[in-house]
Structure 1
Amino acid sequence: MTHEENTSGWDAIDQAIGELYGEQEPHHYGTSIPYMLGGPDPLDGISVYSANTPMPHWHFVTYGFSELYEKEMQDASKSGYGFELTFRLTRSENETEPPAWALNLLQNVGRYVFNSGNIFHAGDYMDANGPICLESDTLLTALSFIEDPDLPEISTPNGSVQFIQMVGITGRELEMIQTWNARGFLSACSSFMPKYVTDLMRNSYADIPSVIQAVQLGIEQDGSSTAFLFIQQLGWESPRKKMLQKTVPAKLQLGANQAVLIGNILRSRMSKGESLSLIGPDVNIMFKAGEQPALLESDRQITLTVNKQVVEELAKNLRPVEWTFVITSLDHLLVQIVKTEIKDQEGHVIKTIG
């Protein structure tokens, strides 16, 4: 470490982990060129411990989302972003070094936070848009975030730091989380995934009856915690008057890949009177619960007021196929579902939906 003078933030993290792992010397991966000076890696370091319960696994802890040295941020109550990330990954008997892909994944998440300013809280989730470990055939293509079960929040001279654990999840599990919420879903899986250890080779928990039941019950009780959905394939054409005053209705365009999910979340949100915003590259469309269906356009946002009948009609027709249907009660709104092309990292189409 180059900072001789004050490492109080760093020391506080060391002390918290020391209480858990005693004298164990971790594998530590420092960053040679600091991010501030143009280095590629935003985190100052990652320590990895070898844990044996509830099964052999690696326990990664980051250094860098919080203030490790002098206090610089205005907010005195929390240190830096107020958290550090942890990650638990299954470890095989003959493994002596933690895998490099997991270190890269943590640095990538670090880059995302530092570049966007979006910070993670327990209960958040993130679509990785592909396998979390690039060269593997894992089903895990997304991440969710929960408090680390062994590392409670700490107070440091620079403010408080929470330890937020990253958990690998499958695409279908992500949909369950979006339709309900991450805490509830992870809790329903906790007996299959003690301490939320990520296992690249596991099957999806989305098919387990007890999980399906917990999710259905949870949606009925709580609705969905997803207020915003980012939709790559989202289009809107305004209604317009043609010759002889004949009106061409408005058209909403959605990709086949997310059609069913939108229907499910819409049903879940509206049952509790909560709104849902679809955020696309060029337009935002907000669904709002109300008795009288209505369509309102402003510069940056379209607001669709929907009642129970409209929601049911939408949810029933939002299918992963290429087709168009009309919602008569919403000013004859045309809803067009278009094909989705799933591409690999080189940009080749590997799957077409719709």
Structure 2
Amino acid sequence: MSSRHSRRDLLAAGLAGSTALAMPAFVRAQDSWPTRPIELVVGFAAGGGTDTTARTVARYLERELGGQVIVANRPGASGELALNAISKAAPDGYLLGVTNYPGLLSLPIERNVGYKSDSFHYLANLVSDPSAFSVAADGPIKSIADLVAKAKAEPGKVTFGSTGVGTDEHLALSLFEQLGSLKLSHVPYRGAGPLGTDLLGRHIEAAGLNIGEAVPLGDKIKVIVQGGAKRSRFAPDAPTFREAGFPFEMRSERGIVAPKGLKPEIAKRLSDALAKVAANPDFVRQIESQYTELLYLPGETWEAHLKRENEVLSRLWKERPWSGN
């Protein structure tokens, strides 16, 4: 072999070797994310349905990502404070949020907020939880018919608590009032935890709590109506709004978002991890034990669903604005 060919072959071998060494390093750099804890932001107080969903998702997401996921509660303004924080965060995957439909869409419709529905990268929806009206079990209101009768007898005086203006319970109240020609006194709270406490303490007469928030409170409260398409297996004695003569459905849908501009490789890592979480039978059993239902929608499907729902809420706003109701 000539020295010329020998040098050329050695150079080629050296380049091939350096490339082979470099490729695993690149792969390792991609696989090393996350290198620090991920913060999963919840816009409501601890103890409510969104908080419970977040803490469950965080545990399973940690297993898929191999890193720590910390739940952070930032309650206030019906979830607006948390959504603003998420929309303005760096799109590096280290700050995510658990969103709650319809509040995610209804807040920008009803008032000027610091974000829009297109301010986020939609990763996946995971949970559906029907809206419900509940009362103290030992109180005078025993059924939805009782609530209607009392509201008609005392217009504007029956106190009804929700987790905030523009939330699913508040929109359910607005539709209930509109369709029944009723008027209740709306009392917004910072989350389902304090709302449930005040219902049990008889500080309010009725409360908008999702099925997954009401049923765990046990026999001290009674669910008198709920917003699913059919009766819930978790509260089978509670009629749907349609059965009770109010033709609408309402629920909370909870999913995971990141700030807009998320790097494609991180977006894929998170989306794939959430798909595995949703397919995990243990996760499904866990959320069902919390009296909620799996509703897995991958990012693009979820975003298209929300765009359709945004049109529905925009029409509702024009017909009956719910802000301040």
- Give me the TM-score of the superposition, normalised by structure 2: 0.28
- Structure with more relative contact order (C-alpha pairs < 8 Å, separation 6 or more): 2
More strand by share: 1
